[in-house]
Chains A and B, each alone.
Chain A
Amino acid sequence: MKTNIPFKLFANCILVKGISRSTICDLQRNDVRVIPNDLYDLLIENEGKTIIGIKELYENKFDDIIEEYFQFLYDNEFIFFTKQTTIFPKLSMDWSDSTIINNSIIDIDENSNYDIVNILKQLNTLHCRHLEIRNFNNARVNILEDILSFLNESESTIQSVEILLPFFKDIEEWITSIKDKFLRVDFIRVFKSPFNQNRVPNKDCKAHIMFTKQNYISELCCGKISQKFFSANMKAFTESMNYNSCLNKKLSIDKNGIIKNCPSMQNGYGSSDSVRLEDVISDSNFTKIWNISKDKISVCKDCEFRHICTDCRAYTENPEDEFSKPLKCGYNPKTNEWSDWSTNPLKEKAISFYNLQAVTEKP
Chain B
Amino acid sequence: MILLISSKYDVSTNNVIKWLNYYGINFLRLNTEDFNSLNHFSLSNTSSKLKVNNVDLDSITSVWHRRGRLRHVPNSLNGLGKVTDYLKKEEDSLVKSIETYLKNTRKYIGSYTSEVENYKLEHLMMARECNLNIPNSMITTNKKELIDFYNTHDQIISKDLRYSINIKTEKICINSIGTFKVTNDLIKGLEDQFAPIYVQEYIEKEFEIRVFYFENKMFAMGIFSQQDEQTQVDYRNYNNQVPNRCVPISLPTDIEKKLLEFTKKVKLNTGSIDLIYSTDERYVFLEVNPMGQFDWVSKNCNYYIEKSIAKEFLEVCN
Contact = CB atoms under 8 A, between A and B. Distances in A.
B242 interface: yes
Nearest to B249: A87
A6 to B, nearest CB: 13
A127 B224 CA distance: 36
Contacts, number: 70
A4 to B, nearest CB: 15
A127 B247 contact: no
B57 interface: no
Q: Is the interface on chain A under 10, 10 to 19, 20 to 34, or 35 or more residues?
A: 20 to 34
Interface string A80-117: 10111001110111101011100000000000000000
Given A28-B245, A87-B252, A82 B304 contact: no
A88 B251 CA distance: 9
A88 B304 CA distance: 18
A82 B15 CA distance: 34
B277 interface: yes
A59 B248 CA distance: 34
A88 B21 CA distance: 33
A10 B247 contact: yes
A87 B302 contact: no
B302 A94 contact: yes
A256 interface: no
Nearest to B252: A87
Nearest to B206: A82
Nearest to A82: B206
A22 interface: no
Interface in B176-209: 206-207
A12 interface: yes
Interface in B241-262: 242-243, 245-252
Given A127-B22, A234-B299, A88 B246 contact: no
Contacts of B245: 10, 12, 28, 77, 80
A23 interface: no
Residue with the greatest number of chain B CB neighbours at <10 A, chosen from A11, A100, A127: A11
Interface string B6-32: 000000000100110110000000000
B19 A98 contact: yes
A240 interface: no
A349 interface: no
B249 A88 contact: yes
Given A28-B245, A98-B21, A99-B22, A92 B277 contact: no
Residue with the greatest number of chain B CB neighbours at <10 A, chosen from A28, A83, A92, A234: A28
Contacts of A28: 243, 245-246, 300
A29 B300 CA distance: 11
B42 interface: no
Interface residues of B, number: 30
State the majority secondary structure of interface residues on A.
Answer: loop
Contact of A238 (B246, B250, B277, B302): B302
B301 A87 contact: no
Residue with the greatest number of chain B CB neighbours at <10 A, chosen from A29, A80, A84, A87: A87
Contacts of B229: none
Contacts of A93: 302
Interface string A118-159: 000000000100000000000000000000000000000000
Contact of A91 (B22, B207, B248): B248
Given A29-B243, A84-B277, A98-B18, A234 B252 contact: no
A89 B248 CA distance: 7
B247 A92 contact: no
22 contacts: A12-B247, A12-B300, A28-B243, A28-B300, A29-B242, A29-B243, A77-B227, A84-B281, A87-B251, A88-B249, A89-B249, A91-B301, A93-B302, A98-B15, A98-B18, A98-B19, A98-B306, A99-B18, A127-B21, A127-B22, A234-B300, A238-B302
Interface of B: 15, 18-19, 21-22, 206-207, 222, 224, 227, 242-243, 245-252, 277, 281, 299-304, 306-307
Given A84-B277, A234-B300, 15 more contacts: A10-B247, A28-B243, A29-B243, A80-B245, A82-B206, A87-B250, A88-B250, A89-B248, A89-B250, A91-B247, A91-B301, A93-B302, A127-B21, A127-B22, A234-B299
Across the A-B interface, give the 7 residue pairs with the lowest CB-CB distance, nearest first.
A98-B22, A98-B18, A11-B247, A98-B19, A92-B302, A10-B245, A89-B250
